[in-house]
């Protein structure tokens, strides 16, 4: 029986929302260790005060099985299927079931042992894995929607680098999603709940490779924009109160870049831009013009990141070509 990818996407979103609700309900029975007080931006609160080797071996083992298995499914899809369809391929059904299974395992692991990868690795590794993912999307979508107001921008390495980024993005995105997913215990704070819902949806997106649902532009932009809500909610619960920096910073990226890939009319774009400008004016009127100083931070970092990432890819591809060009004459000589 053929299953439409769009229908599977809607069903998976519903299951993700339901799983998020289950995590929220678990607040009533989740046994937490004695969490240590917040020690600053590099400290992650939600971890055991004392490391347990047995618990961490279990967490790392589950993470590794999830990571390697997801990569294997993506590889299989690229090498054994290789064509897009409006329906699910068998490998998509396998991937959805595989990721759903590990979501349940992580929930059970949190209930029994609580600790996740945060015990052993820096919080910055989790945050930057997602930041690079968002920058990678801006780079590979440059050819389709442009980078600034619909205009395609030349980046280091040109179209070849952007094509390489599109071809292999699935492996990095799978790592960023699975690693971040296993970094956190399934806690019940608002920030955790929105973050886990976000990870569930990215895992769903990664599972729908080689389907039309995977390239639905409204769906992919929704995934990009969700970071606005997650970042703002987390910032609202942070002592530094950087909610404006994240909320309106990511909104700026939507206005400058993301909305231009949706096929909107000029009038609709101006209406959205007007709503953005109006909300910005309200915040400035209430909190003062000093807020404007932090507005460019998020967009500037992401747009600069596009050129840094493209440069790294260009250098890596140049080195790979040089190595192949050196190996080719040696192999030819060996045959003679």
pLDDT digits (tens, 9 = 90+) for 127-180: 999 999 999 999 999 999 999 999 999 999 999 999 999 999 999 999 999 999
CA atoms within 13 A on the CB side of 108: 8
From 102, 99, 125, select the one nearest 203 (Cα to Cα): 99
The answer to whether the CB of 135 falls within 8 A of the CB of 309 is yes
Length of the chain: 336
Is residue 110 a contact partner of residue 186, using CB atoms and an 8 Å limit?
yes
Cut 0.85: pTM above it:
yes
Count CB atoms within 10 A of the CB of residue 208: 24
What is the longest distance spanned by two Cα atoms in the chain? 79
Question: Considering the chain, what is the average pLDDT of its residues?
Answer: 93
* pLDDT confidence of residue 330: 57
- Is the pLDDT at 85 greater than 80? The verdict is yes
- Structural tokens at position 112: 């029994």
Contact 301, 294 (CB under 8 A): no
How confident is the model at residue 335, as a pLDDT? 59
CB-based contacts of 52: which residues, under 8 Å, 6+ apart?
A: 113, 115
- The residues, any chain, with a CB within 8 Å of residue 233's CB and separated by 6 or more, are 190, 191, 194
- 119 touches 37 (CB < 8 A): no
Residues whose CB is less than 8 angstroms from the CB of residue 315 and which lie 6 or more positions away in sequence, other chains included: none
- Give tens-digit pLDDT for 17-46: 999 999 999 999 999 998 999 888 889 999
Helix (H) or strand (E) holding 103: helix 90-113
Residue 77 Cα to chain centre, angstroms: 20
Q: Element (H or E) spanning 39, and its range?
A: none
Residue 331 has pLDDT above 70, yes or no: no
Q: What is residue 138's predicted lDDT score, i.e. its pLDDT?
A: 97
Residue 240 has a pLDDT of 75
> In this predicted structure, what is the pLDDT of residue 39?
84
List all residues 6 or more positions away from 58 whose beta carbon is below 8 Å from its beta carbon.
Answer: 109, 113
Alpha helices in the chain (DSSP H): 5-25, 53-76, 90-113, 123-140, 142-145, 158-183, 190-207, 217-236, 243-256, 266-287, 297-335
Q: How confident is the model at residue 237 (pLDDT cuts 50, 70, 90)?
A: confident
Nearest to 46 by CA among 60, 32, 57: 32
pLDDT at 288 over 80: yes
Where do we find the tokens 């299989």? 76
pLDDT in tens, 42-80: 899 999 999 999 999 999 999 999 999 999 999 999 999
Q: What tokens were used for 116? A: 């996740």
């Amino acid at each position: 029986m053929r299953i439409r990818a769009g229908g599977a996407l809607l069903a998976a979103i519903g299951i993700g929302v339901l799983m998020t609700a289950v995590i929220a309900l678990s607040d009533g029975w989740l046994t937490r260790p004695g969490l240590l007080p917040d020690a600053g931006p590099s400290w992650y609160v939600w971890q055991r005060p004392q490391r347990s080797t047995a618990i961490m071996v279990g967490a790392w083992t589950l993470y590794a099985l999830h990571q390697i298995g997801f990569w294997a499914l993506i590889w299989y899809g690229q090498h054994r299927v290789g064509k897009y369809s409006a329906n699910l391929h068998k490998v998509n059904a396998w991937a959805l079931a595989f990721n759903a299974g590990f979501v349940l395992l992580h929930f059970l692991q949190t209930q029994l042992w609580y600790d996740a990868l945060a015990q052993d690795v820096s919080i910055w590794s989790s945050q930057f894995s997602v930041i690079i993912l968002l920058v990678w999307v801006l780079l590979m979508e440059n050819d389709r929607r442009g980078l600034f107001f619909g205009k395609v921008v030349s980046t280091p390495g040109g179209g070849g680098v952007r094509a390489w980024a599109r071809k292999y993005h699935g492996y990095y995105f799978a790592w960023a999603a699975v690693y971040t997913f296993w970094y956190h215990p399934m806690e019940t704070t608002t920030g955790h709940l929105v973050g886990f819902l976000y990870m569930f949806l990215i895992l769903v997106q990664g599972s729908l490779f080689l389907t039309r649902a995977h390239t639905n532009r409204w769906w992919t932009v929704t995934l990009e924009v969700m970071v606005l809500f997650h970042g703002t909610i987390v910032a609202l619960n942070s002592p530094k109160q950087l909610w404006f920096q994240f909320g309106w910073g990511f909104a700026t990226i939507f206005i400058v870049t993301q909305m231009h890939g949706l096929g909107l009319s000029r009038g609709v774009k101006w209406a959205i831009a007007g709503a953005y400008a109006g909300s910005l004016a309200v915040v400035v009127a209430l909190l003062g013009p000093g807020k404007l100083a932090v507005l460019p931070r998020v967009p500037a970092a992401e747009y600069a990141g596009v050129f840094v990432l493209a440069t790294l890819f260009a250098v890596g591809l140049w080195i790979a070509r040089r190595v192949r060009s050196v190996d080719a004459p040696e192999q030819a000589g060996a045959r003679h």
